[in-house]
Amino acid sequence: MKPILSIDHLKKIYHTKRGEILAVDDFSYDLQKEQFVSIVGPSGCGKSTILSILCNLDQKSDGEISYDKNIRIGYMLQQDSLFEWLTILDNCLLGLKIEHGLNEESKQYVISLLEKYGLKEFIHSYPSNLSGGMRQRVALVRTLATKPDILLLDEPFSALDYQSRLAVSDDVFRIIKNEKKSAIMVTHDISEAISCSDTVIVLSSRPCKIKSIYPIELTDKKTPIENRKCKEFAKYYDKIWKDLDFHV
């Protein structure tokens, strides 16, 4: 099957006054349609850089990124970055306004998303009235509003406490599967990566290179919370933990 996105020998060098830093070296991966891929790696290794380059926030230094020109990419950040002065609905319409795609139809679509994902009664509330988990869900709807084909999730849950984190990752997973999106998630949480994804890519420390790729095959695969109970879970956890080679 033709991949929806292919990254070929991606390289990124950061230039600073003190010198240059090789952040990403020779990263190649083909993302399939409706695939959920997680990238884990030591903190500061350059995981997020890959996502930034994919959505044009950063320039690549070398390599090829190719995807069909009809493919749209949505980006979801660690912070929900909701605008406090806009209602939940207006926050979610932001992307459409920016690309001048706001019309009655697209607005109805966003409202239907909000309703579908349990935010109906908050449509006209302000972000300050919402819990952290709900805010993150709003951020996801905001990302979905422009109908992207690929979602880039940059540590989307790390600003939340553990309980909400589990709940929200379940929510987000469900929403992404429901809407049949492909996703690349960057995280430093091994169990989150295993429980959500079809494939986990483990990166080495800076400059980040692909260390190993694990297709996650769980018997009885369900939602992220349920997946944590699968018997293969511990095995993958152990392998990835060893790969990360973490020393205190």
Task: Kindly list the residues in this chain that would bind another protein in the complex (CB under 8 A).
Answer: 55-57, 74-75, 77-79, 81, 83, 85, 94-95, 97-99, 126, 146
Residues counted in the chain? 248
Nearest CB to another protein, comparing residues 21 and 57: 57
Nearest CB to another protein, comparing residues 17 and 247: 17
Q: What's the CA gap between 93 and 208, in Å, rounded?
A: 36
Residues pairing with 8 in the sheet? 64
Report, in Å, the least distance between residue 50 CB and another protein.
14
Nearest CB to another protein, comparing residues 48 and 169: 48
Sheet strand arrangement including 19-31: 19-31, 5-16, 62-67
Report, in Å, the least distance between residue 97 CB and another protein.
7
Report, in Å, the least distance between residue 31 CB and another protein.
18
The token pair at 209 is: 């290179």
Report, in Å, the least distance between residue 77 CB and another protein.
6
Nearest CB to another protein, comparing residues 51 and 134: 51
Q: Which ranges of the chain would DSSP assign to H, the alpha helix? A: 47-54, 88-98, 104-116, 132-144, 162-178, 190-196, 224-227, 233-244
Nearest CB to another protein, comparing residues 73 and 202: 73
Check residue 15 and report its DSSP letter: E
Report, in Å, the least distance between residue 51 CB and another protein.
9
CA of 13: how far to CAs of 84, 169, 226, in Å? 35, 32, 40
